[in-house]
Amino acid sequence: VTLAEVAAHAQVTAITVSRFLREPALVAPATAERIREALERTGYVPNRQAGQLAGGRSNMVAAIIPSIANSIFAETVQGLADALQSQGLELMLASTGYSQEREAEQLRAVLGWFPRALAVTGRRHSAAALALLRDAQASGVPVIEMWDQHADAEGFAQVGFDHEAAGRAVAQHLLERGHRRLAYVDSGVAEDFRARERGDGFAAAARAAGASVLRLAAAPGDAFDAGRAALHSLLGTAPAVTAAAFANDHFAAGALLEAQAGAVAVPQRLAVAGFGDFALGRQLRPSLTTLRPPRQAIGLETGLRLIEAVRSGMPPQGCALPWELLPRQSTADARAGGGSGRRPGPAGAQ
């Protein structure tokens, strides 16, 4: 069913129906009524390809994330979709599997749809991807990098937070509780740059305070199992370590469960901290100290800023979003009487 057929039913021409669809106020009430009926009877569905080709712009925003299956990004996507939907924009999603090569590929694929705006994850891109992003931005397509907030930005707006600072905060938390021999368990995924940066911040803060830091990488495969294995290798090879931070809550939860099974006292023998604030962490005993990233807010804010950029024609603005350190039982101070409450991260315009 095309516009022309609907128009025939309503005894007008196609352009009038098109106009009614976009600006109903511009057609006479009687005509509008006939068009409404015709639309109903024919079950007309506007052809987006044709509309966007003729109009010269799409109503689609493309987002590229590392993994759909990672729940942390699922919430970001949800926030993004919510923001866009309110403006009648559609979301096209692509995932890279944490591969820079696939990022460029996926970028090329979505660019063929000529999206109205672009959201990518992180600030590290292959040369090919970077070139595509720059071209897009140069041709007026707003681009936002999600989840990051770092000085070495490549000229794109960033909506996220500083992962090194987050890592430092976790270290600080452990240092304040008297720990001097720390460990950081990295993600097994080499391309999870943000986890690595949190580790960098963690290590830097610890060393600055005169503490030692052992870094090891989690095994690939099931994250719980990897966390369990990491606990063993930690206790085996570095028995002096008294506190460990993990790249995410799944690793940390695995370690907690293994500690439970092996009668390793947490936090007395080993304090444990995670990242991400996954729902499970609050349920475990001891409950898991973690850092809550603004998972959904990143998506929502990205959406709002892209919309604004589209509307105004100006490049989008980035911003730092606050995270929150959630001290719980797994790092409770064995000497004193527990945690010191919540500690919000920094926020403010870029």
Partner DNA sequence: TTGTAAGCGTTATCAA
Partner DNA sequence: TTGATAACGCTTACAA
Chain residues 78-107 in contact with a second copy, contact rule CB under 8 A: 78, 81, 90, 92-93, 95
CA 108 centroid distance within chain: 21
* Stretch in the footprint of a second copy (CB under 8 A) among 24-32, 47-55, 170-178, 264-272: 47-55
Q: Which of 9, 12, 115, 288 binds DNA (CB under 7 A)?
A: 12
| Residue 21 interacts with which of a second copy, DNA, none, CB < 5 to 8 Å by class | DNA
CB nearer to a second copy: pick between 71 and 340: 71
CA 303 to CA 87: how far, in whole Å? 10
Asked if 54 touches DNA (CB under 7 A), the answer is yes
Asked if 119 touches a second copy (CB under 8 A), the answer is no
Q: At what angle do helices 127-138 and 100-111 cross, to 10 degrees?
A: 30
Q: Which of 266, 284, 288, 307 binds a second copy (CB under 8 A)?
A: 284
CB 228 within 8 A of CB 180: no
DSSP-derived 3-state class of residue 170? helix
Instruction: List the one residue out of 329, 337, 219 whose CA is nearest residue 282.
Output: 329
Q: Which of 8, 14, 32, 111 binds a second copy (CB under 8 A)?
A: 111
Which tokens hold the place of 108? 């090329």
Using CB under 7 A, count the residues that bind DNA. 26
Burial of 182 (0-12, 13-18, 19+ CB in 10 A): buried
Burial of 349 (0-12, 13-18, 19+ CB in 10 A): exposed
Q: Minimum Å distance from CB 103 to a second copy? A: 14
Q: Minimum Å distance from CB 272 to a second copy? A: 15
Asked if 48 touches a second copy (CB under 8 A), the answer is yes
Instruction: List the one residue out of 108, 24, 122 whose CA is nearest residue 73.
Output: 122
Binding residues for DNA (CB under 7 A):
2-4, 12-16, 18-19, 21-22, 26-28, 30-31, 44, 46-47, 50-51, 53-56
